[in-house]
Amino acid sequence: MNTYIAVVFSSDDKAHKALRKLWALDEDGALTVHGAAVVRRDDMGHIRVADRHSDLGRNTAIGVGIGALLGLIAGPVGVAAGVAGAAALSVAAATGVGALAGGAIGATTDAVKETHRENAASEAFFTLKHGQSAVIAEISEDSPNALDDEMRPLGGTIYRRENSASNNAAFGNQYYSNYLYPYYYEPMYD
Amino acid sequence: MTNPQSTTENARHDAQELHKKISANIAKAERSTWADVKAVQADINTLGSTMKTLANDQAEDVKIGLKAAITKLEAAGHLVEDKAVAAKDGVKHANAAMLDSAHKAAQSLSGAVAAARSKAAHAIAPKANGAKPADIKKVIA
């Protein structure tokens, strides 16, 4: 099953260890990581993505992208809004509208997605408290046991959300995927 | 005989390395040149060819992802220097397009790897109840 995960830790150090463990599980074939990153909520309350050493500064302006993903994974309000939005869009699509109306729905869809992302980003701020760090990733796993067994000893709180058509339809999966590195990297902040 | 699982894992590794290489060029910012772009394009074209061969043996959903990534790789592999655009901007846009294509390639290949691992795990499960992931990997290899 393809899943978005967020594992929240009390410190950067534990999140960095967790990122290493996650890719080690990939190396062992216990799960497959499609992309992962470490994020932190700093003392000012901003959520930041840790870059790879040579990329420092690339992800400084994160906007709502990665925050929305964290909210989607962990937040009940963000998720509820996403599911409701997807249902509404499905109904609209099923009515067989013409080109003009289709354009209007397209515009509405963008607005709905924007609202969902903003809602989810707000959720992220409740999930990740000041000074906390998290590993965010998209993975494939046949069973949750391998990840759970590695993350729990580090004290991580694990959140999962299925990478489903409805979630992606509501949020737009291309929106944040560029923040997730498709390989292990040594996380650093500016 | 070539092991399809190993071929997919190797292609994924190549895509990851390509992503790192392009990221490094982007980090060079204004010092990155068209020579850097062209050097990466050769790798992009090689990866695209490998992925075309791999795509034939994949399940339909994985194949769709691979084909979308191949299209992006081909477009990035054919980017040519535009003298009309300021050299700095041209290199910047080329690097961004190549990074995006490498990212898509790595993601679609990890999808193919996940599908193969899942298939292998399910094939092994009834015979080797309680097998550890490492054991499964040994069987695949």
- Please give the backbone phi and psi of residue A130, each rounded to the nearest 5 degrees, phi first: -50, 130
Cβ-in-10-Å burial (0-12, 13-18, 19+) of A106 comes to exposed
**Best mutation site among B8, B16, B23 for testing chain A: the one with the most A CBs within 10 Å?**
B23
- pLDDT by 10s per residue, chain A, length 190: 889 999 999 999 999 999 999 999 999 999 999 999 998 888 877 778 887 776 655 654 454 567 777 777 766 544 443 333 333 322 222 222 222 233 333 344 555 566 666 666 566 656 788 889 999 999 999 999 999 999 999 999 999 988 887 777 766 665 667 788 999 999 887 7
User: Going residue by residue through chain B (141 aa), what tens digit of pLDDT does each one get?
Assistant: 456 678 899 999 999 999 999 988 888 877 888 999 999 999 999 999 999 999 998 999 899 999 999 999 999 999 888 777 777 788 989 999 999 999 999 999 999 999 999 988 888 765 545 555 554 444 443
Residue of A nearest to B118 (CA): A142
Q: Cβ A182–B140 below 8 Å, yes or no?
A: no
List residues bridging with A139 in a β-sheet.
A3, A33
CA A18 to each of CA A21, A25, A65, A140, B3: distance values in angstroms, whole numbers, following the listed order: 5, 10, 22, 17, 31
Residues of A in contact with B121 (CB under 8 A): 142
**Helix B87-124 vs helix B34-55: angle between axes, to the nearest 10 degrees?**
30
pTM of the model: 0.79
Q: Which of residues 154-183 of A touch B (CB under 8 A)?
A: 177-178, 181-183
Give the pLDDT score at B65.
Answer: 92
**pLDDT number for residue B123:** 81
| Angstrom distance (rounded) from CA B125 to CA B138 | 14
Q: What are the C-alpha distances in Å from A41 to residues A143, A175, A184?
A: 30, 20, 21
**Dist CA B55 CA B94 (whole Å):** 26
Interface of A with B in 95-154 (CB under 8 A): 140, 142, 146
* Predicted local confidence at residue A59, as pLDDT: 55
CA distance B67 to B59: 12
pLDDT at position B37 is: 93
Is the Cβ pair A178, B103 closer than 8 Å? Answer: yes
Q: Name the residue type at position A89.
A: L
Q: How far is CA A134 from CA A23, A38, A66, A77, A104, in A?
A: 15, 6, 11, 20, 38
- Cβ-based contacts under 8 A for chains A and B: 61
Instruction: Tell the burial category of A20 from Cβ atoms under 10 Å away from its Cβ (0-12, 13-18, 19+).
Output: middle
CB atoms within 10 A of CB A144: 14
- Position A127 scores a pLDDT of 73
By three-state DSSP, how is residue A23 classified?
Answer: helix
* pLDDT at residue B13, rounded to an integer: 96
Contact A4, A137 (CB under 8 A): yes
Token digits of residue A155: 């004290």
Measure the CA–CA gap between B137 and A19, rounded to whole angstroms: 21
Query: Which residues, including other chains, have CB under 8 Å from residue A52's CB and lie 6 or more apart?
Result: A181, A185, A186, A187, A188, B23
Helix or strand (DSSP H, E) at A2: strand A2-9
ipTM: 0.82
Ordered strands of the A47-49 beta sheet: A47-49, A32-41, A133-140, A2-9, A157-162
Task: Tabulate helix, strand, coil % of chain A (nearest 5).
Answer: 55, 20, 25
pLDDT at A83: 36
- A37 touching B, CB under 8 A? no
Return the residue of A nearest to B27 by Cα. Answer: A55
Query: B51 and B105 in contact (C-beta within 8 Å)?
Result: yes
If 0-12 CB within 10 Å is exposed, 13-18 middle and 19+ buried, where does residue B15 land? buried
